[in-house]
Structure 1
Amino acid sequence: MERIVLAYDGSPAAVSALSWTATRATRGPTSVDVVVDIPPWTKDRVPGTERFIDPEVVLRDRLPGLEVGLHRLDGEVTESIARAANNADLVVVGINPGHPIRAAATGWIPLGLSTLAAAPVCMIPVGWTEGNDPVTVGIADDYSSDAALRFAVAEATSMATGLRLVHSWLMPGPTFDTPAALTLRPEAVIDDHRHRLDAAVQLVREEVPTQLIQSELIRDSRSAALLRFVSRSSLLVMGTHRRGALIGSLLGSVAQEILWRAECPICVVPTERTRIASVGVSAASPVSVDSGE
Structure 2
Amino acid sequence: MERIVLGYDGSPASGSALSWVARRVAAESARVGVVNVVARLASDRESALAQLAEAETYLREHAPGVAVELHRLEGSAAESLTDFADDADLLVVGINPGHPIRAAVAGALPLKLSTKAHVPVTMVPAGWVDSAESVTVGIASDGSSAAALAFAVQEAKRTGAGLRLVHSWLMPTPSFAGSAVMVATPETVMGEHREVLEAALTWVLDRQSMIPVQTELIRDSRSAALLRFASRSSMLVIGTHRRGLLAGSLLGSVAQEVLWHAECPVTVVPADAGPARFEEED
Letter in 1 for 2:192: D
Aligned residue for 1:290?
281
Q: 1:183 to 1:174 in 2, by over 3 A?
A: closer
Q: SS in structure 2 opposite 1:158?
A: helix
Q: RMSD of the TM alignment (CA)?
A: 2.3
- How many Å separate the matches in 2 of 1:53 and 1:105? 29
User: CA shift at 1:43, angstroms?
Assistant: 7.8
Cα displacement (A) at 1:60: 1.4
Shift of 1:272: 2.1
SS at match of 2:217: strand
Deviates more, 1:58-67 or 1:204-213: 58-67
Structure 2, unmatched stretches of 5+, are 39-43
2:163 paired residue number: 163
Q: Is the 8 A contact 2:17 2:123 kept in 1?
A: yes
Aligned to 1:269: 269
Compute the displacement of 1:86 (Å).
1.6
Corresponding residue number in structure 1 for 2:141 = 141
Secondary structure of the 1:256 match is helix
Amino acid at match of 1:150: A
SS of match in other structure, 1:21 = helix
Deviations 1:188-220 (A, max 9, x none): 111110001011111211211111011000001
Q: Are 1:235 and 1:264, in contact at CA under 8 Å, matched by a contact in 2?
A: yes
Residue of structure 1 equivalent to 2:71: 71
Q: Which residue of 1 aligns with 2:29?
A: 29
- 1:110-129 matches, within 5 Å, as 110-129=110-129
Which residues in structure 2 correspond to 1:48-197 (within 5 Å)?
Answer: 54-177=54-177, 182=182, 184-197=184-197
2:17 corresponds to: 17
Change (3 A) 1:273 1:36: closer
**What is the DSSP-based 3-state SS (H/G/I as helix, E as strand, rest coil) of the residue aligned with 1:194?**
helix
Task: Note the C-alpha offset of 1:41.
Answer: 2.9
Which residue does the alignment assign to 1:40? 45
User: Secondary structure, in 3 states, of the residue corresponding to 1:64?
Assistant: coil
Give the percent of matched residue pairs that are identical in Structure 1 and Structure 2. 55
- Mapped to 1, the partners of 2:183 and 2:111 lie a distance apart of 41
Q: 1:281 maps to what in 2?
A: none
How many Å separate the matches in 2 of 1:180 and 1:164? 40
Contact 2:136–2:233 (Cα < 8 Å) also in 1? yes
Contact 2:148 2:269 in 1 (8 A): yes
Tell me if structure 2 keeps the 8 A contact 1:150–1:289.
no
Any gaps of 5 or more consecutive residues in structure 1? 277-284
Counterpart AA for 1:156: A
Please give the TM-score of this superposition, normalised by the length of structure 1: 0.88
How far the C-alpha of 1:133 sits from its partner, in A, is 0.6
Q: Give 1:103's aligned amino acid.
A: A
Q: How many residues align?
A: 277
Distance in 2 (alpha carbons) for counterparts of 1:128 and 1:139 = 25
CA distance, structure 2, for counterparts of residue 4 and residue 181 of structure 1: 53
CA distance change for structure 1 residues 234 and 178 in 2, over 3 Å: closer, same or farther? farther
Q: Cα gap change, 1:163/1:57 in structure 2, threshold over 3 Å: closer, same or farther?
A: same
CA offset digits 1:164-198 (Å, max 9, x no partner): 00000001011214799625222111111000101
Q: Given the superposition, is the C-alpha separation of residues 182 and 162 from structure 1 closer, same or farther in structure 2, using an over 3 Å criterion?
A: same
- Does the CA contact (< 8 Å) of 1:170 and 1:221 recur in 2? yes
Shift of 1:288: 2.0
**Distance between the aligned counterparts of 1:238 and 1:43, measured in 2?**
32
Q: Aligned partners of 1:120, 1:182: CA distance in 2, in Å?
A: 40
SS class of match (1:88)? coil
Residues in 1 aligned to 2:171 and 2:126: alpha-carbon distance in whole angstroms: 37
Q: Measure the CA separation in 1 of the matches of 2:277 and 2:201.
A: 12
Choose between structure 1 and 2: higher strand proportion: 2
Match of 1:282 in 2: none
Contact 1:207 1:287 in 2 (8 A): no
- Deviation, 1:251, is 1.1
Q: Counterpart amino acid of 2:29?
A: P
Residues 203 and 287 of structure 1 are in contact (CA less than 8 Å); yes or no, is this contact kept in structure 2? no
Partner of 2:41: none
1:61–1:176 Cα change, 3 Å: same
Deviations 1:252-278 (A, max 9, x none): 11110111111000000000267x8xx
**2 CA distance for matches of 1:242 and 1:6?**
21
Counterpart of 1:76 in structure 2: which amino acid?
A: S
- TM-score, length basis structure 2: 0.92
